[in-house]
């Protein structure tokens, strides 16, 4: 979908969403309420399968009440465009990394602090505990309702050549998320960050606009980036988290029983996503290897960690203070 047609879709969908606000529950039985769900990847990836699961769970509780339209392969745009569509009410549901959500809620960058989380379990405890609940409330204030959080896996460096040491990043053009923390992270290694939507990354790498980027292994395979950056340097510098979200405009029109059904489906869907993602990571790595990818251990990890550590203090004021970072570190 072109940028022009995407804008036209969002405009018409927004008008349609407004028109839906008038009928009461009693008048809804004759027509299912449309739910446009945005997915960046294809039908066989967890990013889409979660919406199939949520659709099934909602239909089980409220048969015929909602008509899900799951739009795949980033046809509605990248994470920023999807987020804007949700804030408008043109898109009713979608996933987003917390990195992308930091454009509206800077505190989300707490979960992007490089080398903060010891392992996947540590990240999960932060998301299900007080840090996650605080973030959920801040997202709601920005018109994002996030009943569930998800885990995408560790982000690794992707490049044409084996950039295994932190010092090798100097002068390299790196595609980064549209997030201040990600920009500063790669600057700390002397790299030149270039902010681009994920949907433009393949072209930018193939044409030499950028030399490298970072991403999780399932997304690396899903976007077929092994075709242009065959070296995967296993830095694991950030454990990527995300949210299962609904537009506040959509959510606020729902009756209590409908909200309960969607919230329960989102929580169960998030657990399903995490399970799928763990399996998908191994399968994606194998597909990428067959496509020419080479997985390489990062060298001198203390140097990578030392380069990133100043971001903790630099961004403390944006994520709730150094106390918020220390509280996450202290989680058992």
Give the pLDDT confidence of 145-171 residue by residue, as tens digits: 999 999 999 999 999 999 999 999 999
Tokens read off for 207? 């044409």
Tell me the residue ranges of DSSP E strands in the chain: 33-38, 66-71, 93-97, 144-159, 173-176, 192-195, 212-216, 231-247, 294-297
User: DSSP string of 123-145?
Assistant: HHHHHHSHHHHHHHHHHHHTTEE
Per-residue pLDDT tens for 269-310? 999 999 999 999 999 999 999 999 999 999 999 999 999 999
Place 17 in a pLDDT band, splitting at 50, 70 and 90: very low
What are the chain's domains? 3-329 (3.40.190.170)
> Which pLDDT belongs to residue 59?
98
Q: What is the CA angle 107-112-114, rounded to 5?
A: 135
- What is the CA 319 to chain-centroid distance, rounded? 18
How many angstroms separate the Cα of 144 from the Cα of each of 106, 218, 250? 14, 25, 10
Q: Tell me the per-residue pLDDT of 221-255, one tens digit each, with 9 for 90 and over.
A: 999 999 999 999 999 999 999 999 999 999 999 99
N-term to C-term CA, the chain: 46
Kindly report, residue by residue over 52-95, the tens digit of the pLDDT.
Answer: 999 999 999 999 999 999 999 999 999 999 999 999 999 999 99
Q: Are the C-beta atoms of residues 212 and 175 closer than 8 Å to each other?
A: yes
Cα separation of 273 and 280, whole Å? 10
| Closest of 205, 219, 199 to residue 3, by C-alpha | 199
| pTM over cut 0.95 | no
């Amino acid at each position: 979908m072109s940028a022009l047609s995407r804008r036209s879709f969002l405009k018409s969908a927004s008008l349609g969403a407004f028109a839906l606000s008038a009928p009461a529950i009693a008048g809804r039985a004759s027509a299912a309420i449309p739910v446009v769900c945005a997915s960046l990847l294809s039908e066989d990836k967890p990013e889409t399968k979660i919406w199939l699961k949520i659709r099934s769970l909602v239909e089980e509780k409220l048969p015929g009440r909602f008509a899900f339209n799951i739009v795949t392969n980033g046809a509605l745009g990248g994470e920023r465009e999807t987020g804007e569509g949700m804030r408008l009410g043109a898109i009713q549901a979608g996933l987003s990394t917390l990195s992308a959500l930091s454009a509206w809620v800077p505190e989300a960058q707490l979960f992007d602090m490089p080398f903060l989380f010891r392992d996947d379990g540590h990240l999960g405890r932060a998301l299900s505990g007080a840090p996650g609940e605080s973030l959920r409330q801040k997202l709601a204030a920005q018109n994002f309702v996030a009943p569930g959080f998800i885990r995408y896996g560790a982000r690794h460096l992707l490049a044409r050549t084996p950039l295994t040491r932190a010092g090798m990043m100097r002068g390299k053009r790196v595609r980064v998320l549209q997030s201040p923390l990600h920009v500063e992270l790669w600057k700390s290694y002397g790299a030149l960050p270039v902010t681009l939507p994920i949907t433009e990354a393949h072209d930018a790498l193939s044409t030499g606009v950028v030399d490298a980027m970072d991403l999780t292994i399932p997304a690396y395979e899903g976007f077929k980036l092994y075709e242009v950056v065959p070296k995967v340097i296993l830095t694991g510098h950030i454990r990527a988290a995300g949210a299962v979200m609904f537009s506040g405009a959509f959510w606020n029109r729902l009756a209590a029983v409908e909200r309960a059904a969607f919230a329960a489906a989102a929580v169960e869907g998030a657990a399903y996503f995490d399970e799928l993602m763990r399996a998908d990571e191994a399968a994606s790595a194998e597909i990428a290897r067959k496509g020419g990818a080479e997985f390489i251990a990062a060298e001198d990890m203390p140097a990578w960690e030392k380069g990133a550590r100043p971001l903790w203090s630099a961004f403390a004021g944006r994520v709730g203070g150094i106390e918020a970072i220390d509280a996450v570190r202290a989680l058992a």
